[in-house]
Amino acid sequence: MPANLRLSLKAMRAFAAVVEQGSITGAAGVLNTAASAVAASVDQVEAEFGADLLIRTRAKGISPTPEGAAMAARFRALLDAYGDVMAEGRDIGGGLTGTLRIGYYAPVAPAFLPRILHPMMQANPGLRLEFREHDNDSAQEALLAGRLDVILFGGQELRAGIETRVLLDMPPYVLAPEGHAVAGFAPVALAEVAKWPLIQPDKPLARPYFDGLFAAQGLMPRIVATADSIEMVRSLVGAGVGLTVLSMRPQTPLSYGGDRLVAVPLEPGSPSLHLRSGRAAGRPRRLVFDFLEALHGWMDSGAARELTVG
C-alpha cells in the first residue's frame, strides 16, 4: 500500500476528534466508539509520523502541539472533502448537503448572514448550519483545529494557514440618542465627542480600538459605563447614559429598549477596522466554496454599505 494511504479515515477522524474535544473520553463519546479504539487510533497516527503530536497532562487533559493542531486541521479538511464526495455520489446533480460551521466575531453578523444563507437553505434542504460566536483569536484557533469551516472577524493579527479576504472597510462612527447635540455634526471631531460621557465597548477587539482612537489624539475620555455586549452598549446610549464609538452598525436605528439612535460619522482620517472572511488554506469543500461565493457576492453588491457610516 502506498505510504500516503496507510492511515485510515477512522484513525484520522479519531485523532481530529481528540484534538477538538481535548480528551480521549470526549472523542469516544462524540464518535460513539470505545475509548480504547480512539487511543489506538491516536497511537497509530503518532507512530505513522514518528512524533508526539499531543501533549497529555492530568490537569488539562490533552492538547495538541502546533504540528498536531495543523495535522488535525488537515485531517478534518480531508474528512470533510470525503463527506462531500460521498454526498455528491449519492445524489448526482443534487443540492448541497452537510453542516456548515460558521464562527464570527462581528457584532452585526446577524444583520447580513441570515439573508445570505436563507436562499442557500431553500435551494438545498439537506443543508444544516451551526453558528459560534468567538473573539478573533479563538475564531482563528477553531478554524485551524477544524472545528469551524469559515470565520468572519475584524482583527489585523492573522495566523498562518488561513486564507482571508477583506469584505468591508468599516470607519468609526459615534452612536448617540436621537436629538443629541452631536447629531448636528456631520462629521464630528473626536475632541467634541470626548466632552461627553462615554460608554466603552468591553470586547477583545472593540476596547483597544476604542481606547486607541482617543489615545492617538491625546484625549482622556470620561467613561461612565462599560459593557461586553454591543446591544447593551446601544441600549445604554439609547437611554441617554452616554455616547459611544463603534465601527459596524446594524440595520435598525432602534436599541433593544426601543430608543431611536443616530449614527454620526467621525472626522476623516480616523483608522478603520476591516471585516474579513477566513478559511483554512487549501482547496475548500464545495459547501464552503459556495457559501463564500454568496458572501463575497453580497458584499460586492453594494448592499453591505448599509453596515457602514461614512
Q: Are residues 153 and 182 in the same domain?
A: no
Residues whose CB falls within 8 Å of the CB of residue 204, separated by 6 or more in sequence, listed in order: 105, 135, 136, 137
Q: Are residues 124 and 197 in the same domain?
A: no
Q: Are residues 134 and 53 in the same domain?
A: no
Q: Are residues 179 and 261 in the same domain?
A: yes
Q: Write out residues in the chain with pLDDT < 50, as ranges.
A: 1-3, 91-93
Q: Are residues 37 and 115 in the same domain?
A: no
Other C-beta atoms within 10 Å of 192: how many?
16
Element (H, E) at 293: helix 286-300
Q: Are residues 279 and 196 in the same domain?
A: no
Q: Are residues 253 and 282 in the same domain?
A: no
Tell me if 81 is assigned to some domain: no
| CATH number of the domain residue 202 falls in | 3.40.190.10
Rounded distance, CA 136 to CA 235, Å? Answer: 24
Tell me if 116 is assigned to some domain: yes
Q: Whole domain around residue 222: which residue ranges?
A: 172-271
pLDDT at 2: 45
Tell me if 163 is assigned to some domain: yes
Tell me if 83 is assigned to some domain: no
| CATH number of the domain residue 25 falls in | 1.10.10.10
Tell me if 90 is assigned to some domain: no
Tell me how many domains the chain contains: 3
DSSP string spanning 137-179?
A: HHHHHHHHTTS-SEEEE--S-PPTTEEEEEEEEE--EEEEETT
pLDDT at 5: 58
Q: Looking up cell 478573533, which residue turns up?
A: 136
Overall pTM > 0.85: no
Other C-beta atoms within 10 Å of 135: how many?
16
Tell me if 198 is assigned to some domain: yes
Tell me if 267 is assigned to some domain: yes
What is the phi/psi pair of residue 55, to 5°? -105, 120
Residues whose CB falls within 8 Å of the CB of residue 286, separated by 6 or more in sequence, listed in order: 84, 88, 96
Q: Are residues 138 and 158 in the same domain?
A: yes
Q: Are residues 50 and 116 in the same domain?
A: no
Q: Are residues 239 and 126 in the same domain?
A: no
Tell me if 79 is assigned to some domain: no
pLDDT at 91: 47
Q: Are residues 295 and 146 in the same domain?
A: yes
DSSP 8-state assignment for residue 260: B
Q: Are residues 59 and 208 in the same domain?
A: no
